[in-house]
Every structure is written in structure tokens, then in C-alpha cells.
A and B are shown apart, each in its own frame.
Chain A
Amino acid sequence: MAEKTTKEILKEKIKPGEHVPLYNPRAVEKLKGEFEKWQNTVVSKKDKDNWWVTPHTILGSDIPRELLYTPLSNTDLDYTRDLGFSGQEPYTRGIHTNMYRGRTFTMRQIFGAGSPEYINKRIKMLLEHGATGTNWALDLATVQMFDSDEPEALGQVATVGVPIDCVEDMEVICKDIPIDKVSNSIITHFPRNTAIIFPMFLVMAERRGVPWTELPGSVQNDFIMESLVRSAVEYIPPRDDFRIQCDNIEFIRKNVPKWNFVTLNGYNLREWGTSGVTEMAVALANAIDTLKDMIRRGHDCDWIAERLAFFWAPANDFMEEVARLRAVRRLWYKIMKYRFDATNPRSMWMRCHVQTSGVSLTREEPMNNIVRAAFHALAAVLGGAQSLHVDSYDEAYSVPSEEASILSLRTQQIIEAETQITQVVDPVGGSFYVEALTNEMERRILDELDELERRGGVVEAVTSGWLHNRVARFIEKEQRMIADGEIKVVGKNTYRAPDLKMPEIWVHEYDEKIAKQMRDKLASLRQRRNNEKASSAIEALIQACKKSDNVMQYTLECARADVTVGEMRRAFVKAFGSWKSPLYMA
């Protein structure tokens, strides 16, 4: 018999219990009569005929909206069942009792294009300006796990992030940074990338004498990013990639207890091309399959779930963005409590980092992007996010300038220190509209999750190409709607200036000097290190992949032996073979 889906389990296990509607039935009856009268006598025929409209936006979910929301949009509302108090089940209103009064959102701006030496300086500058965590981007070669001296790395070293080839680069990046105090988020998108780069961080800490148990921070480690979202010359089969994701989680949980070992990444999937509903459904499906795998490995689900974190992309549909953060918080609580029988409240907390949408920004009149990103950020904070990155206005030109990234940090600080929205928990809660939309988002996310589970789970939905095709269709349709003006983009296809000029924008220039410095460093490393030790560490990694040993124990040995990023990548391909993304021609 097929395994029950999450939706079926929730339906079975959540008992209706005593239902206490907030709106008393007499009042609702009276309201119904008054509402009908008003609609028939006051509201124009045109407005009545178009009572529901479907907004079309970039990355939108096309959910119809009413002209006016009233208690009739949600007569069933039971306050304690559906909303509760902050820090209490079902966590709709927030995971912490005092939310931002207790602890403001972490202001975590990504940065990174430049040499390891430059990034070290940039970290220090951001910390001096009041950033409370770091968030380093890796350059393309490092993300795709190529060494700076491989032919594929031509033109890509240090362009969009920092290059890391070996432990020595990690030592330069973290020089004089209190790695036991500052929380470092290292954007190792992929499981393989995490398995390769994070041990380099651990070996750096080891060489500095900082115990692993003291290290705060996070990695991304999401197979959806590796097998689905990114494009690359080379993939390994999604099933093996998923296994590495789980190996990493297991190793980090055991050995680096303050580290967040996975960030379930909806963001990049959304930005690639999906609605906010699909974004959340896929990340939840990945979380569920990960927990199932951990339980299969003999671990307690709370031991893992208490440190799970999500990553979301708020785009232009402001109220929907607020509502869906509330919706997924409630849904995650239900999944943990009823699907996994979690007992630790922390396991039921949908903790999230949010980055404002980049795809929603324009090349035309780039200063408009400052306003867009501020709205996206405001939605994230109204929705109760734990951590935030605000995109910079110049992102359709190049990686952000220093000035633009300080402005992004300032946007966060203005929300935090000036708007006062952080004084009151869940300030939009109780709005007829927001509560109805929250219910609608939760229902749709659960339905899409159900569809994924019926297709055999998230790994199968990736392997079969079903998700690839879904995204490709979304992108093509969205492109058409923007070109036809159905999706309005100010300054581009709406209110476009007749004499539109391209402004002078600072752009990051490719610096061949850094690439040469990295190549020279690698050549010298291969001379200096014990090559026999390096080769046997690589061979041991290949063997561990073929058996079911935890791979991170072996990539750690590789890092200790100064094995490089590219050498470890090739070991994985040798062990698992390569896989063809279903998106492309055979």
C-alpha cells in the first residue's frame, strides 16, 4: 500500500475538537444580510461583476482577491485554534513570544566578489557598520566546485564571490574574525559543495584552536539547488546528491552543535521561476523527506528538526508575501506535530532567512529598485522573518557596489529603528484579508505538497524532470505576460519614460590579477603538500561514497590533507557517475 501523504496524515490526525468560532453566528447572519444589501444597492454592477480579480505579478501565484474582505471571508475563524498567541501553537503569529522586541531580525547582507584578502577586509567593514552576521558568496568556480586553475574557471575567478580552493584560503578569509562569536553564513548552495567547503572551515578552526562546538553559523546544503535550480556542465544523480545532503546534516549535527546544517532553500527556486506556493511546497517536501531519511538512520526527529531553517524570497505581491510566511509557519507546526509527532517546540518553529527578490528588480531606472526592495523587506518583517538580506538596486548591472550594499543594510536598519513595526508582534494579524489569504496560501501549499508526495517525493519529482518542466513553463509564460504588458513593471512596460536613459552605474570589473594569484597559490600548494597523503584521502572518499559511510568524515580528511575543491568534486563524480539535467537536449 502506498505511503500516506502528509495531507492525508494531517486530515486523519488533526481532530476537529471543540470549535469555538470567533464571530458569533447571530452576528454573522446579520452581517450576511447587510452585506448582500450593500452589494446590491451600493456597489456598482461593474464592481460586483468583477468582485474577484486575479493579480498578475512577477513570480506571482495568480490567487483571486475580493474587492472587500469581511468576517464573511472567514466565518469559521477560531482564534485559539487558528492563530493563538505569539510563541504558542500554532505559531501563526510568530515563533517567539516577544518577537522583535526580544531580538531583532539578523541583518545578514551577502557580499563577496573579490580575493580572500579583500573579503576579509569587507567582513570587518560590515561588522563595523553594525551587521550582526556575515553571509559570504562564493565565486562561480567555487560554487560549481572547480579549482581556480581549471580551464572551466576562465573568466570566473572572484567575479561573483570569493574563490576558495583549499584550507589556506579559508584561513585568509577568517583572519582576525572572531569565528566563535560572529555567526558566519557560508553560501555553500549544494550538498557536494557543503561537503567540500565546510570541512575547510572546520580545519581552519582546528588549526586556530577554536573548538567546533563553539562555532555559530550556517550552510545551505540543499540538493534542490544542485540538481534542479542551478545550471551546470556536470551533475551527479539527484538520489546521491540527496544522500550527501543527509550525510552533511548528520555529521554537522553531531560535531558542530551550534551550526545550522541545512537551509531549505525556496529562494533560488522561486527566483528561477515559480510562484510563492510552489516555492514553499518544494522546500517542505525536501524537509519532510530529509526527516524521514534521518529517522531511517536511527535519529530522533527532534534532534534534527530543532535546527532546521528555511529560506524564502518575498516578491511584489505585498499582502500575499506577508500572508504566506504566516501560512507556512502554521503548516510547518502541523507537519511537525502531527506528521512527525515532534515533542520539542523548537522543532515546530518555521525559522527563516529571507532575501528580497532579485528577479523583480529592473535594469531600467535602477533607483526604483531601492523602493521595491524596501517593500519586499517590509513584507518579510511583517511576516515575522528571523533574518534578512535586502537586494541592492544595481543587481541588474553587476554584483553590488559597496555603496549599494551599505544602502541595503540601511534599509533594514530604517525598518528596525524608525518604522516602529517591530514594536508589535504580527501587526497585520486579525485583518479579514490577511487571515483569509493566510488560509488560502496554507491550503494551496499543502495541495502542492500533496501532489509532490503522490509523485513519489521530492527526489523523484526532480529526477523525472517534472519540476524542471514546471519551472520552464512558468518562465516562458511569465516572459510572455511581461512582454504583452499583462504583468506590469514600472519604468519597463508601464509608465516608461519616453527618453529612458541608462544611468552611470559602478560595475564590478573582472580582475585577472586575482585569478593569477589563485593559480599561483594552487601550484605552490601542490608542491608543498604531502601528495601521497592527499591522494589516499581522495581514494578513501571515493570508497566511502560507494559504501554508505558518511562522506563528510572523508572530505574532512581531504581538507586536512590540503586536497583542493576540484579534486574532491572529481572524486564524487568518479564514485557516483554523472547525470543529465532533463532540461536540455540529449
Chain B
Amino acid sequence: MAEKKIRILLAQFPLENHNRGLIAVAGLLRDAGMEVILLGNAVSNRIIDTAIQEDVDVVGISTYCGGELALGKELMKVAEKKGIKDRTAFVLGGIFPPSDAPKLEAIGFSGTFPPSASREEIIAGVKAAAAAKK
């Protein structure tokens, strides 16, 4: 039986002004057979509402400009409040200090991808994150 396609929502925190990573990752996940929903910039409420509406398996955040811990915590709070934290996987990629990776995992991001992550690592990481929530 064919595997069910993974649905992933790609978004950025509200003020992030770079989206090269978001577009590149959207392309490679689509090539890998996933259904990609490109939201772009949004506040946490809108990201979570869209994730519910689109019934996605994974929410992927792209960040370049720092502040990802504060914003990530807020996103998780909203996800918990709206009841999707347990069934949805969260991953994050972009420019962030290496020392933040374990902290991001501790607050609920099951995959973190620095700029050095390869295509294969990103695809495998998203698949693993989605599988863990099944």
C-alpha cells in the first residue's frame, strides 16, 4: 500500500525578513513527495490555526534572525492550548547558535536543521519527526 503523503506547513515568525531557506526547503520536500503548504510570515496563532485547518503532520519553521527560543516557546504554548502539540511534529531550520539546538529540542522541536544540513538530512529528519507522532 502506498505510504500516505506527509503534509507539512512551512512558516516563519512574524518579523523574519529572509525566506530563501523557506523556498529552498519547500522545493526539496515537494521533490521528496511531500505536500507542502507555504504560509510565510505569521504570528503563532495564525501558524497553529493554519496547521489545524490544513490538517498537517508537520509544522516547519525557518528562522535567520535570532530570537528563535523566545518565539519557539510561544509557538509551543499556542499549540498546546489549541490541542495539537501531541499530534503534530515541529521542526525548525535556519541560522541559530549551535548551542540552541538542544534547547529547541527540549521545548518541542523534534528536528533542528542548521545551514549545513544536507537535503537528505532534512528529508529524513522531517520523515522521522512525522513518524514519531503517528
Question: Are B38 and A584 within 8 A (Cβ)?
Answer: yes
Q: How far is the CB of A232 from chain B (nearest CB, A)?
A: 6
Chain B minimum-CB-distance residue to A231: B19
Residues of B1-26 at the interface with A, using a CB-CB cut-off of 8 Å, are 12-20, 22-24, 26
Question: Are A143 and B38 within 8 A (Cβ)?
Answer: no
Residues of B contacting A154 with CB < 8 Å?
67, 70-71, 74
CA distance A509 to B20 in the complex (A): 23
Q: How far is the CB of B98 from chain A (nearest CB, A)?
A: 6
* Option from B24, B31, B42, B95 in Cβ contact (under 8 Å) with A233: B42
Residues of B contacting A69 with CB < 8 Å?
none
In the complex, whether B69 has a CB less than 8 A from a CB of chain A is yes
Question: Are A359 and B20 within 8 A (Cβ)?
Answer: yes
Q: How far is the CB of B88 from chain A (nearest CB, A)?
A: 18
Question: B38, B43, B69, B98: which has the most chain A beta carbons within 10 Å?
Answer: B98
CA distance A272 to B18 in the complex (A): 8
In the complex, whether B34 has a CB less than 8 A from a CB of chain A is no
CA distance A362 to B74 in the complex (A): 30
Question: Are B16 and A231 within 8 A (Cβ)?
Answer: yes
Question: Are B116 and A362 within 8 A (Cβ)?
Answer: yes
* Option from B15, B28, B95, B97 in Cβ contact (under 8 Å) with A140: B15
Q: How far is the CB of A503 from chain B (nearest CB, A)?
A: 9
* Option from A140, A476, A502 in Cβ contact (under 8 Å) with B24: A476
In the complex, whether A336 has a CB less than 8 A from a CB of chain B is no
Question: Are A480 and B27 within 8 A (Cβ)?
Answer: yes
Residues of B contacting A144 with CB < 8 Å?
15, 17
Question: Are B18 and A231 within 8 A (Cβ)?
Answer: yes
The verdict on A583 contacting B38 (CB below 8 Å), with A154-B70, A362-B116, A364-B116 known, is: yes
Question: Are A507 and B15 within 8 A (Cβ)?
Answer: no
B residues engaging A (CB < 8 A)?
12-20, 22-24, 26-28, 31, 37-43, 65-71, 74, 95, 97-99, 114-116, 118-120
A residues engaging B (CB < 8 A)?
140-141, 143-144, 146, 151-156, 159-160, 230-233, 271-273, 359, 362-364, 396-399, 471-472, 475-476, 478-480, 483, 492, 502, 505, 507-510, 512, 581, 583-585
List the 10 shortest-distance A-B pairs measured between CB atoms, nearest first: A155-B67, A476-B27, A155-B70, A507-B97, A159-B66, A483-B119, A231-B19, A584-B40, A479-B24, A363-B116
Given contacts A362-B116, A399-B66, A583-B19, 9 further A-B contacts (CB under 8 A): A140-B17, A143-B15, A153-B15, A156-B66, A231-B18, A232-B41, A398-B95, A483-B118, A585-B37
